Chain A
Amino acid sequence: MFQGPGALADPKAYRAIFFEETQDHLSDVEAILLKIEPDTPCLPELNAIFRAIHSIKGSASMLGCGDIAQMAHLQENLLDILRKQERALESGDVQAMLKAGDVMRGQAEKHRGAIEHAPDAVPAEALLREQLERPRADAKDGASGPVRRRFAVKLGPLEEPIDEGELDMMIAGLAEMGRLTTPAIDNRAGGVITFEVELEGTADDLQSVLALLVAPQLVAIEKIDRDAAPARTLSPAPNAVSEHDEFFVDPDEFRRKREAVLQADDDDGPDDESLVAPVRAASAAIAIEDDLPIAPRETGHIRVATEKIDLLVNLVGELVITEAMLARSVTESGLADLSRHTRNLQEAVMAIRMLPISHAFSRFPRLVHELSARLGKDVDLEFEGESTELDRGLIEKISDPLTHLVRNAVDHGLETPGIRVAEGKSPTGILRLAARQRGGNIVIEVSDDGRGLDRERILEHALLRGMSISPDAPDEDVWDLIFEPGFSTAESVTDLSGRGVGMDVVRRNIKALGGTIELRSEPGQGTSVTVSVPLTLAIIEAMIVSIGGAVYVLPIATVVETLSLQGGDIHTLPDHGDTLRVRETYLPVIHLARIFPPANRSDHVGSIAVIVEADGRQAALVVDEVVGQQQVVVKSLEANFRKVPGLSGATVMGDGSVALILDVAHIVKK
């Protein structure tokens, strides 16, 4: 399509914009589709969807994404029917367009090179065509039964004669599909073949049959309305160009008229100058504005590549280190300012990486919509605190566990309307996702007003699986069982929540983020799962300890307390190794110097016990000294070196030395 001097220099540059734009448009469309109610008027919404799809189609066909354009084209035809209110919106329309949106998203990903295979477009196309065929209010064909349509078909002018055998086969084939008038055949180069045919199916179907015989641009199909009402033709496939261009004014005449007017203006003399001058001044002002990129839809938002932000975060991390270095040698009042500025800058930069949790929530309306439709349940999905922000990296990581919790709630928690009504509840179940910030953590609660967990069944299951639990154990301990590997209370593994991923994986994923997960449940009242994760993984509040002269970092979130050790505090119990009595309990003692042997053993005195907790387990870590408490910028060991068991990362200290961050969960488990 791009040839000659007018060709686009670099279509790739526009493709990048296009893919981004397409994803945005499709998300918008999906959100609208999930909001609109079938059988109620929603013209503004349909118009908004139409505009988005229309935009996608226009650019897609320019940028060699014909598959996307084709899908958009079918949707446009459907939207056209709905916008012109030829029939009311049905839930089938919504489903078909949701499906088409998924396919287009995949197609865009494929073009972008992000995935290897585009999704199969055929089922979505079939759904759309089915909806296109639905009887309309003004259809004279009756409300049901297959609709037969009459089309006038013109093939040509032909570039070369069509093979006689093929032509006969096509005519015979069409005659079989429906009623065919005797074709007028001029089968020579430059000749034309015309006929009328009546059949079930659309112009697009007919087009695809005929395209086997002649090039698509040589096929012209027009629908003939039996009642001689204005013929409704499908708009052309997106690759048909220029025959739709139309000029309402003859260019020569247009120019002549304009010349005449300009001439007259010139004759006005002095007036001209006074008129032109302010316009020029205005144009100078405008010229500056022209340099500003116009972002029509993105008010108040910018798009920034994640890499750029990461660089900023790293730089600020360095700045924090420099400041800490200065703090050791300079003691001027200016230092306080530097410290304040650095902290502010750090917060500001971190904020750039922060995104509202709504990014993670946005996938749930669709998910709940589909799940509840499949399970025959009525579910109201409510959000609270969607604007609570957290690190974008965390949003990605937390989406999967949350998805699992939402699936569980719809699949197992909420009952069908019949059961709910029998229980005296409203037929519509409520699923709530609430997010709020608490200290350095974001707390997300997924709660439903469903049947709640069945204590007896969980106990039964646990016994069957040989888990040790007392029948009188408190509820919390019973609920805890469902987080154990391999536990599932679903009577049959449905394809919804089953998937071989249980709550144990959810808990493991949340723990890996330094978070916690808690569950509360009341029989008949519902279940609530509370997930708490740190707002960011890049910076942690840390306790610095030393072992044999080497410095280690403990995430403060894991530290319970510190105790100074006296000789004889540590007892060696048979089968339990060293233990330390802290008030009423005995905690296992972990000698860090044994796990990370210091270069100089004689420096190791082991006079402090740091009580840490991870995964619900406490232990006493023996160190030499607590050096202090500060924020540290976490650097990945995996990215810079390799994964080391017992260590979760490293950081650069104020004096420029590297300190290792202990993986407390791993150490305590041992």
Chain B
Amino acid sequence: MGKSILVVDDTRSMRKMVAAVLEQAGYEVAEAGDGVDALDIAKGRRFDLVVTDHNMPRMDGVTLVRELRGIPDYDHVALIVLSTEVDPAVKQKGREAGATGWMAKPFDPQRMLDIVAKFI
């Protein structure tokens, strides 16, 4: 059974790139354009891992992580923030919200796959 990953990013080009890398590696990928959409989709179905951008309209990535951690299904799902934001204070907020990890954009596709493999 293929593992499923939810990719959240308001930037279509970035979202498609992340999705393509994961799909090529055999994961089943769903996409969402912001935190609100992502939360909707994630409530209807449990994903095995979530990769989310941080700076997004309507709901940012750290808030999404906090909301997802409030859903029992997502207690033990890795939630990885993928962002150009590297301010330690923001990263700390992500950690407190329950993020599993923080990856800096631009990302190296192979490194992304290695990390996903570790946590899925």
Q: B88-120 vs A: 1/0 string, CB under 8 Å?
A: 000100110001111111111111110100110
- Does A8 lie within 8 Å of B109, measured CB to CB? yes
Q: Report B-chain residues with C-beta under 8 Å of the C-beta of A59.
A: 11, 13-14, 17
- Does A18 lie within 8 Å of B100, measured CB to CB? no
Q: Report A-chain residues with C-beta under 8 Å of the C-beta of B75.
A: 261
- Known contacts A6-B113, A294-B31: does B44 contact A58 (CB below 8 Å)? no
Docked CA distance A48–B60 (Å) = 12
Q: Report A-chain residues with C-beta under 8 Å of the C-beta of B46.
A: 279
- Known contacts A238-B106, A251-B118, A258-B76: does B84 contact A58 (CB below 8 Å)? yes
A653 to chain B, nearest CB (A): 46
- Does A283 lie within 8 Å of B113, measured CB to CB? no
Interface residues of B in 32-90 (CB under 8 A from A): 32-34, 37, 41, 44-46, 53, 55-57, 75-76, 78, 83-87
- Does A244 lie within 8 Å of B104, measured CB to CB? yes
- Does B110 lie within 8 Å of A241, measured CB to CB? no
- Does A244 lie within 8 Å of B55, measured CB to CB? no
- Does B10 lie within 8 Å of A17, measured CB to CB? no
- Known contacts A9-B24, A54-B85: does B41 contact A241 (CB below 8 Å)? no
Q: Report B-chain residues with C-beta under 8 Å of the C-beta of A255.
A: 119
- Does A261 lie within 8 Å of B101, measured CB to CB? no
A99 to chain B, nearest CB (A): 22
- Known contacts A51-B55, A296-B34: does B45 contact A4 (CB below 8 Å)? no
Docked CA distance A262–B111 (Å) = 27
Interface residues of A in 1-53 (CB under 8 A from B): 1-9, 13-15, 17-18, 21, 48, 50-51
Docked CA distance A241–B119 (Å) = 20
B11, B91, B101 — which one has the most chain A CB atoms within 10 A of its CB?
A: B11
B120 to chain A, nearest CB (A): 9
Q: Report B-chain residues with C-beta under 8 Å of the C-beta of A228.
A: none
Q: Report A-chain residues with C-beta under 8 Å of the C-beta of B14.
A: 55, 58-59, 62
Among A6, A18, A236, A245, point to the contact of B101 (Cβ < 8 A): A245
- Known contacts A14-B17, A248-B100: does B12 contact A21 (CB below 8 Å)? yes
Interface SS of chain B: mixed
- Does B11 lie within 8 Å of A245, measured CB to CB? no
Docked CA distance A239–B104 (Å) = 10
Q: Does A242 count as interface, using CB distance less than 8 angstroms?
A: yes
Q: Report A-chain residues with C-beta under 8 Å of the C-beta of B110.
A: 3-7
A9, A236, A244 — which one has the most chain B CB atoms within 10 A of its CB?
A: A244
Beyond the given pairs A55-B55, A240-B104, A289-B41, 17 more chain A to chain B contacts, judged by CB atoms under 8 angstroms and listed by A's residue number, are A1-B108, A5-B25, A6-B21, A9-B20, A13-B16, A17-B13, A235-B86, A238-B106, A244-B102, A247-B101, A249-B78, A251-B118, A282-B45, A286-B41, A286-B45, A295-B12, A297-B10
Interface residues of A (CB under 8 A from B): 1-9, 13-15, 17-18, 21, 48, 50-51, 54-59, 61-63, 76, 235-236, 238-249, 251, 254-255, 257-258, 261-262, 279, 282-283, 285-286, 289-290, 294-297
| Interchain residue pairs with CB less than 8 A apart (6) | A5-B110, A55-B11, A238-B106, A244-B86, A254-B119, A285-B44
Interface residues of B (CB under 8 A from A): 10-14, 16-17, 20-21, 24-25, 30-34, 37, 41, 44-46, 53, 55-57, 75-76, 78, 83-87, 91, 94-95, 99-113, 115, 118-119
- Nearest 9 CB-CB pairings of A with B: A296-B33, A6-B109, A6-B110, A18-B13, A244-B104, A251-B118, A55-B11, A247-B101, A258-B76
